[in-house]
Amino acid sequence: MRKSIALITGLLVVVAVLYVNASETVADGYGIGDTVSDFKLKSTSGDVVSMADYDEAKGFIVVFTCNTCPYAKLYEQRIIDLDQKFSAKGFPVLAINPNDITKQPDDSMEKMAARAKDKNYSFPYLRDDSQEVARAFGASKTPHVYVINKEASGKLRVEFIGAIDDSPRDASDVEKTYVEDAVNALLAGKKPTVTQEKAIGCTIKWKDA
């Protein structure tokens, strides 16, 4: 009897610990050094895009962004510039819009396609309808950037999280180019010196639970 009580108590503790850990992982998303699971998301061009599609890539600049957030709009041209600068070097931009369209109708696939066409996006603009990718990453706002390095083993590892640079308002007032610096470090075979930088952004419009 005693033994079985001990066993049951033990099991309960294990279950509780597993449960707490599982919920923490979901809430926190990826940290620096974590490996990333690939995703499959539909782009404005109708293609389904995965990181695995990019054989030649050395890594990725994953940007959670949207049509509607003023901060995302302030950074739009800089996101386009990042892709033009780094795609050919092996670090393409993948832009992901996770906003719930019932809360933000202007983030619909149609509106996204219009935006991508209008601004001539050179990178895929993907919709995360289920919001599972944003949750897996732990993205909380737009814009929210993850620089991912593809290692020799093929493992995708998070090496930078956060802001593109230190001047949302004015691209000409930038003193620190966080994402560029991180990608340049990785291209040079080094670890980025700055791995996290915060900036203000719009809360991702989550679906109601």
Partner 1 sequence: MRFRHHMKILFLCAFLLTFTSAFSQEVVKINMDELNQEMISDENHIKVFNFWASWCGPCVKELPYFDELADNPNLNVTLVSLDFEEEIKKASSILKKKGIGLSSYLLDEKDFIDKVDSSWTGAIPATLILDKSGNRYFFEKAFTRDELHQTINNIISK
- Long-range contacts of 20-28, Cβ-Cβ distance < 8 Å, separation of 24 or more: 26/135, 27/138, 28/138
Residues 6+ apart with CB under 8 A from 179: 61, 82, 145, 147, 160, 163, 164, 165
* Residue 165: closest CA among 181, 185, 149: 181
Q: Does 96 bind partner 1 (CB under 8 A)?
A: no
57 or 69: whose CB is closer to partner 1?
69
Residues in the chain: 209
Nearer to partner 1, 127 or 141 (CB): 141
Least Cβ distance, residue 170 to partner 1 (angstroms): 9
Choose the stretch contacting partner 1; rule: CB under 8 A; options: 13-21, 106-114, 177-185, 197-205.
Answer: 197-205
- Which of the stretches 88-96, 110-118, 177-185, 192-200 binds partner 1 when contact is defined by CB under 8 A? 192-200
Minimum Å gap between C-beta 36 and partner 1 is: 18
Q: Which positions from 158 through 177 interact with partner 1, judged by CB under 8 A?
A: 162-163, 166-167, 169
Cα separation of 74 and 90, whole Å? 25
Q: CB of residue 197 vs partner 1: minimum separation in angstroms?
A: 9
State which residue, 73 or 85, has the beta carbon closest to partner 1. 73
**Amino acid present at 95:** A
Which of 81, 98, 194, 92 has the alpha carbon at shortest distance from 141? 98
> Which of 6, 70, 122, 191 touches partner 1 (CB under 8 A)?
70
Residues that bind partner 1 (CB under 8 A): 70, 140-141, 144, 162-163, 166-167, 169, 198-204
